[in-house]
Structure 1
Amino acid sequence: MSQPPGQPRLSPQFCFSFGTLRDFLRLSRSSIDDSITQNLNALVTPARTGFDPSSTSKRTPRSFAEPIDSEACQSFKEKVLFPSWKARAEVLSYCGIVATSPDPDDPEATILELEKQRDRERIVDERLDPYSGRFFPREARTQSLALLMRQERAVENIVRSRTWDVIQGRCGTSSPSWQDAMSNWEAAQKLSKGDGNPTSS
């Protein structure tokens, strides 16, 4: 069974390294979600009775989508799938915050400021030059990151929905939506770590 990449060390530098950020998300999705059928096939327990020679005399169509033991399914979700989703959610959440925060370390901050200054000093006369009113400032890296986060969140929702549909079909359960299942798992994780806040009577 595929193993997702380890949780990266979260920092603004990681978020602004768009290639590294995309690579983490892509590798995590490809090792778990994109290969969900192979991962689930690996959970199918081989027959315990051994090989029956008489089985070769009959033709029985074999289902390629064998149902999987419910305990194996649950274990896969709790130990592999949900932790992988949580790791990606933490990256998307953290980098989303970075994208909306001040960025004093932007190496292009001075250039951006100069461009804005030049724009303020420009003489715009669209009668003489119809293009003089046009100004296409360079994007700050926080803006580029915010756009990337919107795109990646949309991709993440599609990927999770598709993965959950496959799991529902193979595990033969009518569990809640992936959002509810994930929330229930996270709540159970908090309780098991003693982070829950039970109400006192």
Structure 2
Amino acid sequence: MSRTPDQPALTPRFCFNTTALRDFLRISRGTVDDTISQNLNALVTPGTSNSFDPSSTTERIARPVHRRPIDTAACQQFKDKVLFPSWQSRSDVLNYCAGVATSPDPDDPDHVIRETEDLKARERLVDERLDPYSSRYFPREARTEALAMLIRNERMVESIIRSRTWSLVGERCDNGGVEYDKALDAWRRADG
């Protein structure tokens, strides 16, 4: 089974380091979700099925490995030990960083620069007849605003990836018609 990356230490510094944040999410998704077909195929153990089945000769084309159902216990173990912990780890990171993005940022290194630019923009005399572009002012974005936008985007990506992964898991394992978020919540309650 896949080994998911360890969850990083959750600090504001980690969240504001967007490269580290994106790398963690990318590696975690690549380890489990992007390789879901390979992970599910690994659960099919050759030779564990019953001996030769005479009814298999009635089929013209044997079912490929990627379409064979997987043992229920192996599926459940994969979901409980690999899939859901990976999703939970990413959820924890995104939730923590969303909290950081909505909190005041006393350590913002660009705060003084933004304040100075805002003050200059307010004091500037604008004569649009002479220069129609002189009234344009694009304030710098605070790093908390940039982080909030990144988290929103990553949550949308996460939703799409989880939906796709869950549908592939549902093809090979029995999901009982449950949506991925409800299955994850049930796992959280059982695990917690």
Q: What is the TM-score of this pair, normalised by structure 1?
A: 0.87
The aligned residue for residue 116 of structure 2 is 114
| SS class of match (1:42) | helix
Q: State the alpha-carbon separation in 2 of the partners of residues 49 and 83 from structure 1.
A: 29
The aligned residue for residue 63 of structure 1 is 64
The aligned residue for residue 36 of structure 2 is 36
* Residue of 51, 67, 76 corresponding to 1:74: 76
- The alpha-carbon deviation at position 59 of structure 1 amounts to 7.6
- The alpha-carbon deviation at position 175 of structure 1 amounts to 3.5
- The alpha-carbon deviation at position 9 of structure 1 amounts to 0.2
Contact 2:14 2:21 in 1 (8 A): yes
Percent identity for Structure 1 against Structure 2: 56
Q: In the alignment, does 2:167 pair up with 1:165?
A: yes
Q: State the alpha-carbon separation in 2 of the partners of residues 49 and 107 from structure 1.
A: 62
Q: In the alignment, does 2:17 pair up with 1:20?
A: no
After superposition, the Cα gap between the structure-2 partners of 1:173 and 1:144, relative to the gap in structure 1 and judged at 3 Å, is closer
Q: Residue 28 of structure 1 aligns to which amino acid in structure 2? A: S
After superposition, the Cα gap between the structure-2 partners of 1:35 and 1:140, relative to the gap in structure 1 and judged at 3 Å, is same
After superposition, the Cα gap between the structure-2 partners of 1:88 and 1:173, relative to the gap in structure 1 and judged at 3 Å, is closer
Question: Which runs of structure 2 are paired with 1:85-164 in the superposition (5 Å)?
Answer: 85-164=87-166
Please report the RMSD computed on the Cα atoms of aligned residues, expressed in angstroms. 1.9
Please identify, of 166-175 and 69-78, the stretch whose mean Cα deviation from structure 2 is larger: 166-175
Contact 2:111 2:142 in 1 (8 A): yes
| SS class of match (2:185) | helix
Aligned residues: 186
The aligned residue for residue 179 of structure 1 is 181
- The alpha-carbon deviation at position 75 of structure 1 amounts to 0.7
After superposition, the Cα gap between the structure-2 partners of 1:28 and 1:11, relative to the gap in structure 1 and judged at 3 Å, is same
Q: Deviations over 1:126-151 (max 9, x none)?
A: 12211111001111111110110110
Contact 1:66 1:170 in 2 (8 A): yes
Please identify, of 107-116 and 159-168, the stretch whose mean Cα deviation from structure 2 is larger: 107-116
Q: Residue 22 of structure 1 aligns to which amino acid in structure 2? A: R
Contact 2:2 2:82 in 1 (8 A): no
After superposition, the Cα gap between the structure-2 partners of 1:49 and 1:77, relative to the gap in structure 1 and judged at 3 Å, is closer
Q: State the alpha-carbon separation in 1 of the partners of residues 89 and 191 from structure 2.
A: 14
Q: State the alpha-carbon separation in 2 of the partners of residues 62 and 175 from structure 1.
A: 23
- The alpha-carbon deviation at position 50 of structure 1 amounts to 9.3
The aligned residue for residue 191 of structure 2 is 189
Q: In the alignment, does 2:14 pair up with 1:10?
A: no
- The alpha-carbon deviation at position 85 of structure 1 amounts to 0.3
Q: What is the TM-score of this pair, normalised by structure 2?
A: 0.91
Q: Residue 95 of structure 2 aligns to which amino acid in structure 1? A: S
Contact 1:175 1:181 in 2 (8 A): no
After superposition, the Cα gap between the structure-2 partners of 1:97 and 1:49, relative to the gap in structure 1 and judged at 3 Å, is closer
Q: State the alpha-carbon separation in 2 of the partners of residues 48 and 108 from structure 1.
A: 61
Please identify, of 135-144 and 13-22, the stretch whose mean Cα deviation from structure 2 is larger: 135-144
